[in-house]
Structure formats: structure tokens, C-alpha cells
Amino acid sequence: MTLDAETAEDLLYQGFQARFLEGGVRELVSSGDLSSEYADFQIDSRSIAIAQAMRSRTDGRGDACAPGPSAPGPALAFGATPLEFLRCAAQKGTTPAAARVGGRSWTDLRRALFGWGGPRGIMTQVMAGAALAFQQRREDRAALVFEDSRAVETGAWHEGMSLAGAASVPLIAVLVSGPTVADDGRGVAGVTEVAANYGASVERIGADPLDRVLQTVRDARRQVVAGAGPLLIELAPPADDRWAGQEELTSWAAAGGLSSSRLEAVRNAAKAGVDHAVARLRKEPEPRGRDALSPVTADAAPTPPWTRRDPPRPGDLPSAGAGADAGPMPWDAAPTP
């Protein structure tokens, strides 16, 4: 196994981040700062390696990634921070959309991160389109999308893959394995058979070492950008230990030429970052009610319904678009005893 030092350090850092973030989330769930829906929160380290193999940038010119159900692992690889993830999960007012959306993913187009935006399959359609744009402009860019394996039961996913295959766009679509109707014999064929219908290549990633995952996806990325058509990756169910143990990490560090003291420094840096994020999260403000008035089109923020204001005189209603600048709302004031 060989890794260049920078890659090894990046992977190690993100891996440690993921491990410590899992712990931080458990702590926040216990303290009531996060919903219990995160009680079983885990990050599949292979999703980080897959995303790490892409060409991420922070200037809006890199590969695009929709982390989907694997968030925040791939998001970390695309430059997101644990605090950003925790803000979204905890619905804080400091999220990019002021908690109007949140959950596990969010959109940051500078990093080409695409947040969840609808039922299963939608993001495969959207990322096929991002890939289409790269192809049209002949850019050295590719799109990466994670969906859970039940996406193959939706028409949306198949339409996205159909278009991606027909246009041979540079798309890497990852299906994170879980139960599907195929498992009890009710429905669809396996992923490999599905992919063949769309002219897509297939990779199956199981318990492979992460450096192997990294290299495989790097090779695949080159192929899809070169016009070989989309690639479908089946991310098989992970082993119990989703992140490498100390022994393997040590071997990684060695493969990358990192000393044990450097390994420890990377570990400590990742831990400090997550600890800071967890502590900081508790001080972050909640969204204000009027944050719901964000513009929904270029022209206007929505106007609060007049029935929630003081009854207006005829002809005295604010025109559409005045909502965001209409001054204090009734619900901003202290409640009447």
C-alpha cells in the first residue's frame, strides 16, 4: 500500500474527524442538544474515501458532490467542517439557510456541495445535469451523488441514470447498500444488471482498504471525465467497524511516510476541531421567526398574511415583497399575558 503524504494526512484527518464527530453527536443527543434521530449516527469512512478521490475545490470550480444519506462524510472531504454539519443537524439560525432546511446536508455551491432536495432519486437527476454542464463546457469536472439503495425503486433515479447514460455524462452514482425489494424477491434486479441498462460501468466496494477505494475512484473519475459514461458504485454494507482501527491507521501513516508523532498530531487536531464544534454549537443562536421570510424568488420575500397583522385598513396592505423589510412583526413582540 502506498499513499502520498498529503493524501494520507487528509484521509487520516477526515477519518479522525468522522470518528470524533460520531462521539460528539452521541454526546449532544444525550444532552438534548440534538434530536434522538441522531442516536445511531455513524459515518461510513469509505464514503469519505470516495469523495476524497474527487477533485474538490472551494472556488465553485471543482467536482460536484451530493452527499445524500452518507453526509457528512463526503461533505468533510469537500471541505465542510464538523460545526457546519452540527449547525444543520441542530437547526441553528447560523446555518446557510437559517434552518429553513437542514438535517444532514446543506447546499454550498462554492464547494459544489448539493444538499438534499426531495425524495430519493431527485439528486441523481440533478447531479446528472451538473455533469451535463461540465461535459458541455468540456471541463475537467465530474459529479458525485450518494443515494441509498432504495433509490433504485424510484422512477426518479432511473430517469436520472437513463439521461446520464444516454448523454455519457461524467457522473459517479453511489448506491449505499441497504435492504431493497430485491432482497425478498419482490422486485428489481441487482445493481449490476440495472447499470448495464444504462451503459454504466460498475464498481462494488465492500471491505476494501481505503487506499484501494481511493485509487479505484480516482481511476473511475478519469474515465467518466474522459467520456466513458457514468459509473455506478455499489457501496456494500460496511463491516461493524466503519473506520480503520489503530493498527491500520498506523500502517496508513507509514504508507504515507508519516511518523507516529505526526499521526498523533493529526489525531489531536481532528479531536480539537470536533470538541470545539460541539462546545460552540451550544452557544449558537436559534433561528428567529422572521427568518422564514427569506426570499423565495428574486423579486420578493413572502408577505405575512394580513390576518396575522393588525387588521389593515382597505388599500393599506403591503405590496408583495415588502415582507422582509416590513419592520417588526407582531410575533417579535413579547406575548401578551
Partner 1 sequence: MSTRSPSTPSGPPARSHATARSAALPAQVARTRAGEPATFLEAVAEALWEEMERDERVFLIGEDIGAYGGAFKVTRGFLDRFGPSRVVDTPISEGGFTGAAAGAAHMGLRPVVEMQFMDFVSPAYDVLTNYVATSRYRGAGPLPIVVRGPVGGGNRGGPFHSQNVEMAFFHTPGLKIVYPSNPRDAKGLLKSAIRDDDPVIFEEHKGLYRAPHCRETLPREDYAIPLGKARTALEGHDLTIVTYGLMVHHCLAAAQELAKEGVRAEVVDLRTLLPLDEEAIAESVKKTGKLLIVHEDTRTGGIAGEIAMRINERSFEWLDGPILRVTAIDSPVPYSGRLEDYFLPSPDDVVAASRYLVEY
Q: What residues numbered 21-80 form the site for partner 1, per CB under 8 A? A: 64
The DSSP secondary-structure symbol of 97 reads T
| Binding region for partner 1 (CB under 8 A) out of 3-11, 21-29, 208-216, 257-265 | 208-216
Q: Is 185 in the site for partner 1 (CB under 8 A)?
A: no
| Binding region for partner 1 (CB under 8 A) out of 51-59, 219-227, 274-282, 323-331 | 219-227
The C-alpha atoms of residue 197 and residue 105 are separated, in whole angstroms, by 30
Return the residue of 37, 58, 117, 282 that touches partner 1, per CB under 8 A: 117
Residues touching partner 1, count (CB under 8 A):
77
Q: Is 294 in the site for partner 1 (CB under 8 A)?
A: yes
- Residues 234-273: x where in contact with partner 1 by CB under 8 A, - otherwise, as a string: ----------------------------------------
Contacts (CB under 8 A) with partner 1, residues 188-207: 201-206
Q: Is 225 in the site for partner 1 (CB under 8 A)?
A: yes
| Binding region for partner 1 (CB under 8 A) out of 3-11, 20-28, 138-146, 172-180 | 138-146
How near is the Cβ of 318 to partner 1 at its closest, in Å? 11
Are residues 206 and 242 in contact, defined by beta-carbon separation less than 8 angstroms?
A: no
- Give the pairing type, strands 171-176 and 64-66: unpaired
In the beta sheet, which residues pair with residue 201? 231
Q: Is 131 in the site for partner 1 (CB under 8 A)?
A: yes
Considering beta carbons, is residue 119 or 179 the nearer one to partner 1?
119
Considering beta carbons, is residue 41 or 157 the nearer one to partner 1?
157
3-state SS class at 200: coil
Q: Where are the beta strands (DSSP E) in the chain?
A: 64-66, 143-148, 171-176, 201-205, 231-235
Q: Is 162 in the site for partner 1 (CB under 8 A)?
A: yes
Are residues 234 and 203 in contact, defined by beta-carbon separation less than 8 angstroms?
A: yes
Return the residue of 45, 47, 52, 95 that touches partner 1, per CB under 8 A: 95
Q: Is 308 in the site for partner 1 (CB under 8 A)?
A: no
The C-alpha atoms of residue 99 and residue 91 are separated, in whole angstroms, by 5
| Binding region for partner 1 (CB under 8 A) out of 47-55, 183-191, 214-222, 282-290 | 214-222
Handedness of CA 326, 331, 333, 337 (dihedral sign): positive
Considering beta carbons, is residue 163 or 277 the nearer one to partner 1?
163
Q: Is 159 in the site for partner 1 (CB under 8 A)?
A: yes
The C-alpha atoms of residue 142 and residue 101 are separated, in whole angstroms, by 26
The C-alpha atoms of residue 78 and residue 51 are separated, in whole angstroms, by 7
Between helices 246-255 and 210-225, what is the axis angle to 10°?
50
Q: Is 212 in the site for partner 1 (CB under 8 A)?
A: yes
Cell readout for 22 is 460520531
Are residues 56 and 62 in contact, defined by beta-carbon separation less than 8 angstroms?
A: yes
